[in-house]
Amino acid sequence: MSPLRILRPDRLAPGLLFIVFLLSQLPAYAHAAPGPHSGLLPYQATYSVYLDGFGVGRSRITLRREASGIWRCHSFSHPNGLFSIFENIRLAETAHFRILRNGRLEPLSYRLTEPGRSARHDQDVRFDWSKRIVHSQVGSKSVTLPLHPGMLDRMTAQIALSRDLVLQGRPPSTFLVVNHNHLHRYVVTPKGQRTWRTPAGIFQTVEYVAETPKGTRLIFWCARTLGEIPVVAREIRPHHPTITLRLLRFSPLPSRIRTPHPSPQALGKVTPF
């Protein structure tokens, strides 16, 4: 198996590619507080991806709030240098979600594709909150699941972790993640402190472990000085290589989207999502 299989959907941890890191050369931003209602800061970041400690690719993540008020998180991953000669894998992930007035995060949609390759691993998840139904499809296979508050997709799960740490000072006790047409339950536990040296700087972090009953472990080292954004993230699965993500670059984005003044005909109308 090529080392670059790490970049395939069946080798990716739920939400592992949307992890946010902060560049230490932005001290004013590092100490800025997230918005009081969202608990989120817009950003664009680039990560290095490792397979058993061997660098195999990069991932670029963007989180922003759109003019409609809907949040959008997008990631694009690709292999590094010579490895792209052997296997030219690209992954694109996009999630849309909203923050309700009571502060709850509600996922709306999630999409994973491999541009230029077969669609058999593509994922499409739609959260219909009016009907309390989740529509999930992987390739040609689809399922319908009952939708309950707290259910997330693989990208919004990590975003929810950072929000809970910022707004409540503690991680959620469990995550319910829709992934590969199944509902996965993760139990989250704090495990102590660690200092990390990354290409972006040195950070004091707290380790949080999210684990499934089958033994898959997602580990996030979060720094309070960076708004509880993970500095390093790792996936450990039984009988699989260990995946690690680490910060390379980070750029903050404007927190507000400038929108044109509405025309008289548009007044009173709501733009559909």
Q: Tens digit of pLDDT for each residue in 119-154?
A: 788 999 999 999 999 999 999 999 999 999 999 999
Determine if the pTM surpasses 0.85: no
Average pLDDT in the chain: 77
Cα 155 to Cα 117: distance, rounded to the nearest angstrom: 22
The domain defined by 3-254 folds into YmcC-like fold (2.40.360)
Higher pLDDT, 4 or 36: 36
Tokens matching residue 241? 């290589």
Q: Render pLDDT for 215-252 as a digit per residue (tens, 0 to 9).
A: 889 999 887 877 677 888 899 999 998 989 888 777 77
pLDDT given at position 80: 78
Q: Render pLDDT for 157-182 as a digit per residue (tens, 0 to 9).
A: 988 988 898 888 888 889 899 999 99
Instruction: List phi, psi (to 5°) of 269.
Output: -95, 155
Task: Please list, in sequence order, all residues whose beta carbon lies within 8 angstroms of the beta carbon of residue 227, skipping any fewer than 6 positions away.
Answer: 22, 32, 33, 34, 41, 162, 166
pLDDT band at 11 (very low <50, low <70, confident <90, very high): very low
Cα 79 to Cα 49: distance, rounded to the nearest angstrom: 9
Cα 165 to Cα 104: distance, rounded to the nearest angstrom: 14
User: What is the average pLDDT across 88-105?
Assistant: 88
